[in-house]
Structure 1
Amino acid sequence: MIKKSILGLGLFGIVGTGVVGIAHAVPDGAVAPIHLAAADTAETSTVSAIGVVQQTRPEQGKVKISHEAIPALDWPPMTMFFRVKDKAVLEGIAAGDKVRFELEKGATGLEITRMEKMAK
């Protein structure tokens, strides 16, 4: 009986730690809080990424991007909303644009500090 209890606790611990790293669903347009060990320990304070803009919300300072894998953060390709540090970053950017962008750790998590269109 004790062996089963210990085994059960061990499996719960393994499963429990795996769940912590899984992104959770947020309402459309919400920005999920980002706190990742990889982001905290990245050697540089700026991380570059490439993606395709799905939607912009300049009035909210947000942009939805389907980005490629970001090895510096150990992130697979995914689609998510990002905050921009300055709304001016979104000027001239529209849905469908392929962009290169830079992320920096800000007060509310990772924020886009720079974005430029790329050739399609």
Structure 2
Amino acid sequence: MKQRLSFRYIIRDTFALVTTSFFNYMPGRPEIDSNTGRRLLGVDEWVDTITMRPKSVRCLGCNDRILFTRKDFDVRMWQTHRDSCKGIDDMMKKAIVKELIMLANDAEF
């Protein structure tokens, strides 16, 4: 799962601290043209690049199609979705729990 590259976690006492390594397209950056947007979306771990279109992408976290109403390959609109997607949050949590269970099982042997 290449999405696993987009986050890390550490265990502290009774909780896991999750940090993401999402690229931030917003602060102080000039407008991003469509060609650059296409390239950036094409390497985002949470974008289904097979079904990517100029006016939309499908999120691999929630399977929703994100429509670009302002311009083609709108990475800023994608970022707004990605950063608040409950599906992505859930997939990250499941991956962490799965990894912790595997570690616990390995420790028993």
More helix as a share of residues: 2
User: Between Structure 1 and Structure 2, whose CA radius of gyration is higher?
Assistant: 1
**TM-score scaled by length of structure 2:** 0.29
**TM-score scaled by length of structure 1:** 0.27
More strand as a share of residues: 1
